[in-house]
């Protein structure tokens, strides 16, 4: 908000549209409120998560005039970023400087589908009707340098965990150079946590543990799982930083600022230093505001700092489509009312002027009506396009589900075939080996049984009901088998019984596959 704008508003309202939280600032005091209301004296600002927009770099020839820059960037963005030609994206840009490119001007662009903006800010607009400013969240960090909260100009990495998004942003010499959303928002961390833990836990319980657990001292069952999750996250961050250094030709990342939307007892900056080997700290910045809350979302604080900056000291990148209504005399309806009032006055003085103004009014109405018809046709065309896309999506989803079902059926069939092919010959081979050994010691078999654990297919056991005229033959056989198949099978026999009537010895030999 420029100095001129500051004198026009008595307070500032910052909005997190993803959690529907609102923070009001009067003078230098921040206060979270539950029910914001529409006020003409209130300046409203919000942001877009990194996940919600597409960003990239565009180079445009220096020969292109300033008035044509936007059209040139807009056209090139569709080609360079592979944008859908059927969608009319909203685009904003900031200029970057490349000393190695003397022929082009370089820009970092931010692109978003207007439908996403409408979906994200639907609840907000229902309450306050308009939004003065919507900015990509990584650009808010420029305020830290403009307000001299961060003094040095090395390569800094900012990492911020939120419920719906987690972003990595790089500033080099106090200028924005890179941002990326990583798949480790609180919601995604909860899903991965449950996968590692092997059991579904409630999201609220996960957030409570994430916030209140100290991984150095806690004895919770969740501790090891959370440590594994954090190691995965920092491994992913390390890969991103390695790519950034190579892509942007950076020697190193000098410092990392890392924090989260919720307050945590476990120090993320200490963990960052250990896992990434880069000096780190949290977002414990002196923003110059006082707060009645124990913990204010850092992006809320950054938005309030942003509104205090002059235009030339911040990035101008406004995606709002919810503009304030113009002053009464600047509105079409206001001008029409004033025109009617003037015509009524003139009616009593100059009848001819009255009829002339009436004709002008009718002509203006006809022009506006034509504009309405044109816009209405555009609306109908776009709605039809959306419906066609949704129908195509449904068809593709149905086809995908069908292919998945076929895949599962074929997979199950192959498993059965493999089981028959591998297990049956294996059983026959075992019986062949043991039959030769039984014959060697002249021990007969009364019956054979085979057991296998159907759940694991690992616990296999063969039972031989042995019959011999001498118990020594059975003991010699077992001694021989134990030596021959040491490490491959486990042999056990509970007892050798003697039946007087038949004058034979009986025993049940159990053979387990190791």
| pLDDT over 90 at 165, yes or no | yes
CA 63 from centre of chain: 40
Instruction: Collect all residues with Cβ–Cβ distance below 8 Å to 194 and sequence separation of at least 6.
Output: 200, 201
Number of Cβ atoms within 10 Å of the Cβ of 33: 11
Cα 160 from Cα 165, distance rounded (Å): 8
Pick the range with the lowest mean pLDDT from 16-30, 316-330, 371-385, 472-486.
316-330
Cα 328 from Cα 316, distance rounded (Å): 27
Going from the C-alpha of 108 to that of each of 59, 60, 274, 315, the distances in angstroms are 9, 11, 33, 11
Q: Are 56 and 179 in contact (CB under 8 A)?
A: no
> Which residues are 32's β-sheet partners?
23
Q: What are the residue ranges of helices labelled H in 198-262?
A: 203-212, 223-247
Query: In the chain, which segments carry CATH 3.30.70.2830?
Result: 441-513
Cα 155 from Cα 256, distance rounded (Å): 9
pLDDT, tens digit, 9 for 90 and up, residues 386-434: 988 888 888 888 899 988 888 888 888 887 776 656 555 467 777 888 8
Cα 454 from Cα 408, distance rounded (Å): 20
Look at domain 1-148+288-324 and name its CATH class: alpha beta
pLDDT attached to residue 381: 86
**Interior CA angle at 383 toward 378 and 384, to 5°?**
100
For helices 223-247 and 186-197, angle between their N-to-C axes, nearest 10 degrees: 130
What would the DSSP string read from start to end of 125-168? HHHHS--SEEEEGGGGGHHHHHTTSS---SEEEEEEE-SS-EEE
pLDDT attached to residue 302: 94
pLDDT attached to residue 2: 44
Give the mean model confidence (pLDDT) for residues 72-86.
Answer: 90
3-state DSSP assignment of residue 150: coil
| pLDDT over 60 at 455, yes or no | no
Cα 56 from Cα 107, distance rounded (Å): 8
pLDDT attached to residue 296: 81
Cα 137 from Cα 50, distance rounded (Å): 7
pLDDT attached to residue 383: 87
Give the mean model confidence (pLDDT) for residues 84-112.
Answer: 88
pLDDT attached to residue 38: 78
Give the mean model confidence (pLDDT) for residues 494-509.
Answer: 89
Sign of the dihedral defined by the CA atoms of residues 474, 476, 479, 481, in that order: negative
Q: Are 224 and 149 in contact (CB under 8 A)?
A: no
| SS3 track for 434-493 | HHHHHHHCCCEEEEEEEEECCCCCCCEEEEEEEEECCHHHHHHHHHHHHHHCCCCEEEEE
Could you say which DSSP state residue 40 is in? T
Cα-Cα end-to-end distance for the chain: 75
Does 3.90.870.10 match the CATH number of domain 150-284?
A: no
Give the pLDDT band (50/70/90) at residue 344: low
Q: Are 296 and 32 in contact (CB under 8 A)?
A: yes
Instruction: Collect all residues with Cβ–Cβ distance below 8 Å to 128 and sequence separation of at least 6.
Output: 13, 15, 36, 37, 38, 42, 44
3-state DSSP assignment of residue 12: strand
The answer to whether the pTM exceeds 0.75 is no
pLDDT attached to residue 288: 83
Give the pLDDT band (50/70/90) at residue 303: very high
pLDDT, tens digit, 9 for 90 and up, residues 4-38: 344 467 789 999 999 999 998 877 788 888 888 77
Could you say which DSSP state residue 92 is in? E
| pLDDT over 80 at 350, yes or no | no
What would the DSSP string read from start to end of 377-442? HHHHHHHHHHHHHHHHHHHHHHHHHHHHHHHHHHHHHHHHHHHHHHHHHHHHHHHHHHHHHHHHTT
Does 3.30.70.2830 match the CATH number of domain 441-513?
A: yes
For helices 268-276 and 223-247, angle between their N-to-C axes, nearest 10 degrees: 60
Give the mean model confidence (pLDDT) for residues 324-345.
Answer: 63
Query: In the chain, which segments carry CATH 3.30.420.40?
Result: 150-284
pLDDT, tens digit, 9 for 90 and up, residues 240-288: 999 999 999 999 999 999 999 999 999 999 999 999 999 999 998 888 8
Cα 171 from Cα 154, distance rounded (Å): 8
pLDDT attached to residue 5: 46
């Amino acid at each position: 908000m420029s100095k001129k704008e500051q004198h026009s508003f008595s307070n500032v309202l910052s909005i997190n549209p993803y959690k529907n939280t609102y923070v009001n600032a009067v003078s230098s005091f921040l206060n979270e409120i539950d029910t914001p209301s529409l006020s003409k004296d209130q300046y409203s600002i919000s942001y877009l998560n990194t996940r919600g927009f597409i960003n990239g770099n565009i180079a445009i020839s220096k020969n292109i005039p300033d008035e044509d820059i936007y059209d040139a960037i807009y056209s090139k963005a569709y080609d360079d970023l592979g944008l859908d030609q059927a969608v009319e994206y909203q685009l904003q840009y900031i200029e970057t400087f490349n000393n190695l490119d003397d022929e082009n001007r370089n820009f970092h662009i931010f692109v978003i589908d207007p439908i996403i903006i409408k979906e994200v800010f639907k609840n907000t607009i229902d309450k306050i009707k308009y939004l003065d400013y919507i900015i990509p969240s990584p650009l808010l960090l420029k305020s830290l340098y403009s307000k001299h909260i961060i003094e040095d100009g090395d390569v800094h990495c900012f990492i911020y965990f939120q419920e719906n998004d987690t972003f990595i942003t790089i500033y080099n010499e106090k200028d924005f150079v890179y941002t990326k959303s990583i798949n480790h928002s609180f919601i995604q961390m909860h899903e991965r946590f449950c996968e590692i833990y092997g059991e579904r836990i409630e999201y609220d319980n996960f957030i409570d543990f994430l916030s209140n657990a100290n991984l150095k001292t806690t004895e919770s069952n969740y501790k090891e799982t959370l440590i594994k999750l954090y190691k995965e996250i920092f491994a992913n961050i390390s890969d991103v930083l390695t790519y950034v250094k190579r892509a942007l030709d950076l020697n190193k990342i000098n410092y990392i600022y890392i924090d989260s939307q919720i307050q945590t007892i476990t120090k993320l900056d200490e963990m960052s230093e250990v896992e990434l080997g880069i000096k780190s700290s949290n977002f414990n910045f002196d923003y110059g505001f006082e707060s009645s809350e124990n913990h204010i979302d850092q992006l809320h604080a950054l938005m309030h700092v942003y509104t205090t900056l002059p235009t030339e000291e911040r990035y101008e990148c406004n995606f709002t489509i919810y503009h304030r209504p113009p002053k009464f005399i600047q509105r079409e309806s206001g001008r029409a009312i004033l025109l009617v009032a003037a015509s009524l006055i003139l009616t009593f003085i100059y009848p001819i002027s009255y009829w002339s103004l009436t004709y002008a009014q009718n002509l203006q109405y006809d022009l506006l009506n034509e504009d309405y018809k044109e816009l209405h046709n555009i609306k109908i065309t776009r709605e039809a396009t959306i419906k066609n896309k949704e129908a195509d999506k449904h068809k593709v989803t149905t086809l995908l589900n069908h292919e998945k079902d076929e895949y599962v059926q074929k997979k199950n069939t192959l498993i059965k075939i493999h089981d028959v092919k591998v297990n049956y010959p294996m059983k026959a081979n075992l019986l062949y080996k043991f039959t030769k050994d039984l014959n060697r010691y002249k021990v007969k078999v009364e019956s054979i049984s085979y057991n296998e654990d159907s759940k694991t297919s690992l616990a296999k056991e063969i039972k031989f009901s042995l019959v011999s005229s001498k118990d020594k033959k059975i003991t010699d056989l077992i001694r021989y088998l134990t030596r021959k198949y040491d490490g491959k099978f486990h042999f056990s026999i509970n007892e050798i019984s003697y039946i007087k009537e038949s004058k034979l010895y009986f025993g049940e030999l159990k053979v387990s596959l190791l």
